Chains A and B, each alone.
Chain A
């Protein structure tokens, strides 16, 4: 039964594939609306504290590694491209191409996380983890931690979303190879694609807000 190439059937409660696809897409957009509000709380906190402590934010921002952040930005935008190509392959119903592009997306996503891991390690070594052991050149005011609290909360939550995304992509590869996706029914690829782009967009905001903010103060 498993060897047979058969597209996923229409669920019993839908009239046709169009209805099923439109429902899945709308559902994903609503989920992303929820995600915007979820991250929105952190962006609000960022706004409040940056307004309150502009000097500490500049100081903190200057501790971040812009070349690494820039490299990661490029990697992530590249992964959005490969994701789009996976969706395109799904629309054409080309099973092996879907799996290939998803694989490429996963490779780029993993690369991003590895770089992020090095960055986190670097912060650890330089006592920039908020808490009792926090120390930063230039001030002893504990409020200087706020930048790093937000840096870790925002990039951490973003990384968590990437990990979930990688899990979803990994789940799609065998499905794709089995021939589950057809031109009519590839909602999973489309949905995970939307999610992946969303996670990219979050980074597009995080990169300038966290990394580039302090440059002109330096």
Chain B
């Protein structure tokens, strides 16, 4: 606890105390406050999306349709997907933790475009409220994928409103990515060279590239769906010579990379957690940094693996299959390098580290089943079954949310200036890990046995696994509830956090908790990388063995 040394010299008010009242929040240009605005908003959407998941799992506890008609069920899982993907997962780590931390980590006073940053939040809110409004007025039944001609011709309900909502929120994502890239290029403190950047920043750089280059493609696709629905013209409608597959290509060109928008920032968080809690320099810094960029680039070339059974040519399928396998390489580089970082580190099992270790296990399963699904033969067998559902929940819920929660716990003292309860936070982390696996592992088995996704009724022989899955969802739900309680509790009753409670090395720990408005009392000059932990202690022991 050597914190006071740097926090002492000046008594600048923290960003939380600098101004008060609703206006000071809603018109703020401080990246830290905007991060908090996002935190509140995405939490609300997470609860809404979560409630829908609860209803879905309750319905699936029995083979009959007890609670909902097929039509209502369709709307339920569609909204669950849309809210969770576009309004929780995509903004989660970048817009909350990235917003708050990225400028602090590189020693800047703010993001390059503070007003644009606030605009992004408003765009996100407008999009979110439109989408949620469409839910209140009947919802949509297209699935989150908006496949044509379902979405353009046959779907009943508020397709147009939802589509515009997602379109608007998409620009929030684009502008956030733009802000991050400019900030990383132009706002680094003296001495903060590219290869001293925390890996969290590298991950966000890669994510931003996808946000800028991918999102506009889905935006134009959504716009065309809207035009087709509104004016009854044939962009994708075969009746007028249109091609429905074109929509799928445009959609997945964004929506596959969108998975990397969700997972790359979580990987960035992982690199920070694993190093801080094993007191070791990250193993193979350059490899981890470039693997993020490699994932971003290769991620743009694999979208066809969503279309193996859509009538795409076998040659295209084989090429996409090969390219999909390539993604496994940078992903494995990261997992191996985190593991190698753990090796002979002085590991302490604080709550963030529990999430980090959970991430490695869960991501391993999610990633390896991704390789299975990238294989043409297996994918055709399990296409549109629960195997797929289990796979993407392992990556997007298991891994991405573990990363998000791990990061939130790691930086909570920095963000709020308060410590949370040790015991309950560990209970929460364990329940989430157990609950998550109990919910989704049975779904791999269900899918392999042939249970299709998106139906609210199923043959009786699948019930055991479904009941297990629903039981797991209960544990998971309790697991998510616990952090809500103790984190809120900590705001008022938590112990005051020192500047650097974990003894971590990143620049963000050199300033007060919570930081002052311009982040640092005096502009920092960087003299070492973010992972300059004393490697001497374990290194001495290395010389003995082998």
Interface string of B330-345 (1 = CB under 8 A from A): 0000000000000000
Cα distance A34–B182 in the bound complex, in angstroms? 14
Cβ B112 vs Cβ A27 within 8 A:
yes
Chain B binding surface, main DSSP class: helix
Cα distance A29–B231 in the bound complex, in angstroms? 34
Enumerate chain B residues within 8 angstroms of A128, measured Cβ to Cβ. none
Cα distance A11–B187 in the bound complex, in angstroms? 13
Q: Which of B108, B182, B220, B235 contacts A26 (CB 8 A)?
A: B182
Q: Which of B185, B186, B221, B518 contacts A41 (CB 8 A)?
A: B221
For the complex, is B16 an interface residue (Cβ under 8 Å from A)? no
For the complex, is B288 an interface residue (Cβ under 8 Å from A)? no
For the complex, is A111 an interface residue (Cβ under 8 Å from B)? no
Cβ A142 vs Cβ B241 within 8 A:
yes
Enumerate chain A residues within 8 angstroms of B174, measured Cβ to Cβ. 34
Cα distance A49–B243 in the bound complex, in angstroms? 8
Q: Which of A22, A23, A49, A132 contacts B241 (CB 8 A)?
A: A49
From known contacts A26-B186, A49-B241, infer whether A13 and B212 are also in contact, taking CB-CB under 8 Å: no
Q: A-B pairs with the 8 shortest C-beta distances? A: A143-B241, A41-B220, A38-B216, A13-B109, A13-B110, A37-B216, A130-B233, A23-B112
Cβ A142 vs Cβ B216 within 8 A:
no
Cβ A141 vs Cβ B186 within 8 A:
no
Cα distance A39–B220 in the bound complex, in angstroms? 7
Cα distance A48–B245 in the bound complex, in angstroms? 11
Cβ B239 vs Cβ A142 within 8 A:
yes
Q: Which of A27, A35, A38, A49 has the most CB of B within 10 A?
A: A27
Interface string of B243-279 (1 = CB under 8 A from A): 1001001100000000000000000000000000000
From known contacts A40-B217, A131-B231, A153-B227, infer whether A30 and B243 are also in contact, taking CB-CB under 8 Å: no
From known contacts A30-B182, A31-B178, infer whether A145 and B250 are also in contact, taking CB-CB under 8 Å: no
Cβ B241 vs Cβ A146 within 8 A:
yes
Cα distance A86–B270 in the bound complex, in angstroms? 49
Q: Which of A23, A40, A41, A44 contacts B187 (CB 8 A)?
A: A23
Cβ B235 vs Cβ A153 within 8 A:
yes
Cα distance A56–B242 in the bound complex, in angstroms? 13
Interface string of B73-84 (1 = CB under 8 A from A): 000000000000
Q: How many A residues touch the partner, as a band?
A: 35 or more
Known: A12-B518, A23-B185. 20 other contacts (CB 8 A): A13-B112, A13-B114, A19-B186, A19-B187, A26-B181, A26-B182, A27-B112, A27-B178, A30-B181, A34-B212, A38-B219, A41-B216, A41-B250, A48-B243, A48-B246, A53-B241, A130-B234, A142-B241, A145-B233, A146-B242
The interface on chain B, measured as residues whose beta carbon lies within 8 A of the other chain's beta carbons, has a size of 40
Q: Which residues of B contact A (CB under 8 A)?
A: 108-110, 112-114, 116, 174, 178-179, 181-182, 185-187, 212-217, 219-221, 224, 227, 231-235, 239-243, 246, 249-250, 518
From known contacts A27-B178, A130-B234, infer whether A42 and B112 are also in contact, taking CB-CB under 8 Å: no
Enumerate chain B residues within 8 angstroms of A49, measured Cβ to Cβ. 241, 243
Enumerate chain A residues within 8 angstroms of B215, measured Cβ to Cβ. 34
Enumerate chain B residues within 8 angstroms of A2, measured Cβ to Cβ. none
Interface string of A30-70 (1 = CB under 8 A from B): 11011101111110110011001100100000000000000
Cβ B232 vs Cβ A37 within 8 A:
no
Enumerate chain B residues within 8 angstroms of A37, measured Cβ to Cβ. 212-214, 216-217
> B66 CB to closest chain A CB, in angstroms?
43
Nearest B residue to A35 via CB reads B216
Cβ A13 vs Cβ B181 within 8 A:
no
